[in-house]
Chain A
Amino acid sequence: MTTARDTIVDALDIESFILCESEKEAKELIGKLMQSLGLPRFVIVSLDFNGPGAHFRVRAYMNKPGDNYTWLQ
């Protein structure tokens, strides 16, 4: 059965602002966030820390070129 997740062409990006005190802490929090969302394989695309926290975009690839794409199953 096709799930909504199977229809993602390539990647799911999550963008938000996270409250933290350093870039290092931001990365740790993003890792925990992605784990909690069931997306343990992720890559941080961009991260900009300043003042209250970090503006970030994190990406979980669902289908990479060469894969057996979920949207063709």
Chain B
Amino acid sequence: MMKILLAPLDPVHDAGLKLIKRKLEALGYPCVLLPPDITVEEIGEAAIAEKVDMIFVGRTVGYGVEQLFRRVRHVLTVQGVFDKVRVAIGGMAVTDELAKSLGFEAGYGPHTKIEEIHAMIEKNPELARHITHPVKNKPKFPFPHDNTVKNSTTKNLLDEIVDGILDWTADKSSPGVVRAHITESQLQDVKGSVESYTALPFTRDYLAQCDESVVDFFQKNICPPSVRQITQKEVDAYINRIDIAKRNFHPRVLRHGREKPLVFVQYGTGCPMMDGMHIKVAESWGADGVLHFDPAWGARTEGLMDGFLTNAEDGTPVTYANLSLIRRSLDAATLWTVRAHRGLNTPEIAVLSGFLGADMTKINIVYGSICGGTDPARLTVDGVDAIRTATRYNMPFDIPTNEELAGVPPHKAFAGMLIMAQLGRRLGAQPILKPLLCHGPYIMVNELMEQNYVDYNFAKIRALQALADFPIWPGEPIGFMTHTEEKEQSATTTALHAAMCSTLGVDAITTASTDEAFSRGPITADGRVGSLRAMEEAFRFFGETDVAPTKKADEWRDDIIAGINRTLEAVTEAPSFVDALYQGILGDKADGVYPGRAGKNSVVTAPKPKAVGRWDVTPAIVRKKPVLTVKAVTPGVLPARRRR
């Protein structure tokens, strides 16, 4: 083995060289560590006396480092050492570029891994490949769970409610369901091809189920006020940018010693290209997954538009082309979720997501009905259909409970979430519970977080864990309403909530950017980096150490469990689940929510679904072959579909 001389050019010992010595000796290299406060001449003398094969000179202090190492080289050359012995340098202000410009073999700055030094010593880059070219594999998510309700009282109530939902929806359909099946039929015909799908002649059957604004888009090429079509030139330039980002991408893992939680970032800046760039930033700073958020008006409009569209306001329009552009931007290891859950296009978005290979979708009939503005009857029909779609495409779906932000108490929000989870299981899907860790109105009014943010959040998660064994993924985002506009505070509260979630053993978290509380402009890429870096540091700080709540958490956990069962019992006493939503049993006006009106009276009677979960609706009309493909378009946009 090569003999190595470690020489600290500092008045006191460099901890870095001591560490390198220990690790090199563990690898079998004999090392000689010189004492601190030596002269440059003494390094050369020691190298000759010890007959070493290599010298590693360290200098912690950054001031004057270039002049100092220039002198090191000069002295070692004069001593006849430099030409015979390999010499590398390291220190706080050292870079590989600096080292090589001065004639040294290599230079190492802070955070250098021993594998990199080992690779240099052996002249074998493969020894450090996992450091220099790390690989991140897509996690199998959700992590394994029993997916059962453990509490028998809760289970019996949930089963009764789910039976009622399936009976109630069995003979019902809606414009959203019909559109979803037309879209699915078309996508099957073109095997999911974006170009062919977009070039398909548009069907009267589809337009017959759409609002006027969507009809105007297809027939008159009129976009909503804040929306414009993206040009092909922009798309090409964007893809070039994304490919550059992919070439320079080095995966990063935020967790430190624990497998969970995975970290998700929500996007929806309005523009799929800005989203894509934010996604690349989030991936590069350690995010494991991303979530697509659509605009609020998209949820209240019957029908989806088409082609590459950008929106100057919050929420990125869901179109097959937009989603495909975002999917094109993702790293292979990144988990991708598309929100379908709360509006009039829920079944169709689930279909688009499934065809594009989204890893997950998001469906919550309760939230969408009482907080998302959609009529409860309509969303119950659409939600069940969307869950069937999620099952067919093997997409787990998460169940957000952001109605807490309006003032709904956690036990009611959780009751609704558990109904959705049990409904999902009955339909063969994989539900994921998504409690909100927030300082919401109910918590504020009842002063549940006056002393700390830990106890009540613990109570919420522990209540769910006591009742059932479903995956749990707090969002969106963790720490909602604890952020301020100050970057440091915002990053810190996100990081502390993330550390708490690590203790709670949840499967994943969705995190805010440091712009979470800033409402006078769009979220920035820099804001995403800020939060991710803070979380990485919190995970590093706590490692596998746990955050401990006080005894109050157990008391509140039991209160929440009792409240959930009380709420479920009240739902079973209502004439139907839909009636329970209208009556406000899962959240009422006093809680700050009310039944939505979008899609009211749009539910129609329809044949029962087939065994595979498909409705036996009239198939889409026979279409002409695609008249245009993306390659045939010059210049411009992916064409809006041709009308018939």
Contact = CB atoms under 8 A, between A and B. Distances in A.
Given A64-B312, A66-B310, A72-B273, A46 B522 contact: no
B269 interface: yes
Chain B interface size band reads: 20 to 34
A46 B485 contact: yes
Contact of B524 (A13, A66, A68): A13
B486 A48 contact: yes
B226 A66 contact: yes
Secondary structure call for the A interface: mixed
Interface in B223-253: 226, 228, 234, 237-238, 241
A24 B250 CA distance: 45
B274 A72 contact: no
A65 B518 contact: no
A13 B273 CA distance: 21
B273 A69 contact: yes
B121 interface: no
Given A69-B274, A72-B237, A64 B487 contact: no
B522 A64 contact: yes
Contacts of B518: 45-46
Contacts of A15: 487
A71 interface: yes
Nearest to B281: A9
A10 interface: yes
A43 interface: yes
A72 B312 contact: no
Which of B312, B313, B485, B524 has most A Cβ within 10 Å? B524
Contacts of A66: 226, 228, 270-271, 310-313
B226 A11 contact: no
A67 to B, nearest CB: 8
Interface of A: 9-11, 13, 15, 43, 45-46, 48, 57, 59, 61, 63-69, 71-73
Interface of B: 226, 228, 234, 237-238, 241, 269-271, 273-274, 277-278, 281, 310-313, 484-487, 515, 518, 520-522, 524-526
Given A63-B274, A72-B234, A73-B237, 11 more contacts: A43-B520, A43-B521, A46-B486, A48-B486, A57-B487, A59-B521, A65-B310, A66-B226, A66-B271, A69-B234, A71-B277
